């Protein structure tokens, strides 16, 4: 069964600290993996998209890694800020031979991050 | 460029009623997808439209329907509302069909069914 599991479910850190969020998937065939940030009451915003051949991608203080062999990804946040408080969602896309549709995205349930002053 | 807009932002309906939600994609985007988000289930795919045609449908009952107009704007309709339909409904647009295209999400419509 195609699944995306994220851990931890929730996390509280102090402002200025680093943190790492985990995403394990059992999706096949794999096309790409995305990390989204969703502020409360808003729609998700894309942070990174990685294909099979990419193992690291950065977007400012956010760095995503992908290990396609172990089917694991992580999102590392450096020097956290209060504005990083949000849910972070990992999304894995099935390969295009599944018909090429956004309906072939498998969503994790997200990690809720709270950054405290 | 304006982002994806959704109207209304908040809606309260009574069980048994029907509701229509609207989504205007980013200019030039021809693909619109709809998702339901609840705390317990996360984001779940409802349907995807491209060039006024439904291209894919998620595992939701027939009470959930949608359409896309020639200007790429989309609407979704939920008939005979149930309490469990209370959720954030998100619309996302992308340039083309296929999961290799990045999706841009709107702010969502928060539907509460009482």
SS3 label, residue A11: strand
Share of chain B above pLDDT 90, in %: 82
Give residue B80's Cα distance to chain centre. 17
Pick from A88, A99, A5: nearest CA to A48: A88
Secondary structure (3-state) at B84: helix
Which of residues A45 and B39 earns the better pLDDT score?
Answer: A45
**Mean pLDDT to the nearest integer, A102-108:** 80
| pLDDT score, position B77 | 98
| Nearest residue to B111 via CA among B77, B66, B73 | B77
Q: Tell me if chain A has a CB within 8 Å of the CB of B73.
A: no
**pLDDT value of residue A100:** 55
Phi, psi of A40 (to 5 degrees): -60, 130
Is B42's CB within 8 Å of A108's CB?
Answer: yes
CA distance B74 to B31: 10
Compute, in degrees rounded to 10, the torsion defined by CA atoms A27, A29, A34, A38. -40
B56 in reach of chain A (CB within 8 A): yes
**CB proximity B92 to A under 8 Å:** yes
Over residues B83-109, mean pLDDT: 91
* pLDDT 10s digits, B68-80: 999 999 999 999 9
* A18 or A96, greater pLDDT: A18
Which residue is associated with the tokens 């989309």?
Answer: B74
Contact B33 A110 (CB under 8 A): no
Instruction: Flag whether pLDDT at A95 surpasses 80.
Output: no
Q: Is A96 on the interface with B (CB under 8 A)?
A: yes
Q: Look up tokens 């694991």; give the residue.
A: A72
Convert the pLDDT of each residue in A26-64 to its tens digit.
988 888 899 999 999 889 999 999 988 899 999 999 999
Band of residue A1 on the pLDDT scale cut at 50, 70, 90: confident
Is residue B41 over pLDDT 80? yes
């Amino acid at each position: 069964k195609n699944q995306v599991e994220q851990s931890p479910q929730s996390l509280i850190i102090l402002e200025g600290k680093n943190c790492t969020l985990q995403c394990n998937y059992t999706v096949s065939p794999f096309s790409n993996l995305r990390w989204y940030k969703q502020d409360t009451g808003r729609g998700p915003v894309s942070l990174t998209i990685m294909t099979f051949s990419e193992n690291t991608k950065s977007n400012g203080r956010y760095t995503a890694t992908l290990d396609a062999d172990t089917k694991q990804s992580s999102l590392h946040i450096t020097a956290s800020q209060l504005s990083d408080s949000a849910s972070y969602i990992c999304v894995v896309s099935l390969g295009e031979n599944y018909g090429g549709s956004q309906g072939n995205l498998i969503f994790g349930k997200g990690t809720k991050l709270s950054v405290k002053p | 460029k304006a982002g994806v807009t959704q109207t209304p932002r908040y809606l309260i309906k009574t069980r048994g009623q029907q509701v229509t939600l609207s989504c205007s994609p980013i200019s030039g985007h021809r693909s619109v997808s709809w998702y339901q988000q609840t705390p317990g289930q996360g984001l779940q795919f409802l349907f995807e439209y491209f060039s006024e045609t439904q291209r894919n449908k998620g595992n939701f009952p027939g009470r959930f329907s949608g359409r896309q107009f020639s200007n790429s704007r989309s609407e979704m309709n939920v008939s005979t509302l149930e309490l469990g339909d209370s959720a954030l409904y998100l619309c996302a647009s992308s340039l083309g069909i296929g999961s290799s295209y990045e999706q841009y999400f709107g702010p969502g419509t928060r539907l509460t069914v009482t």
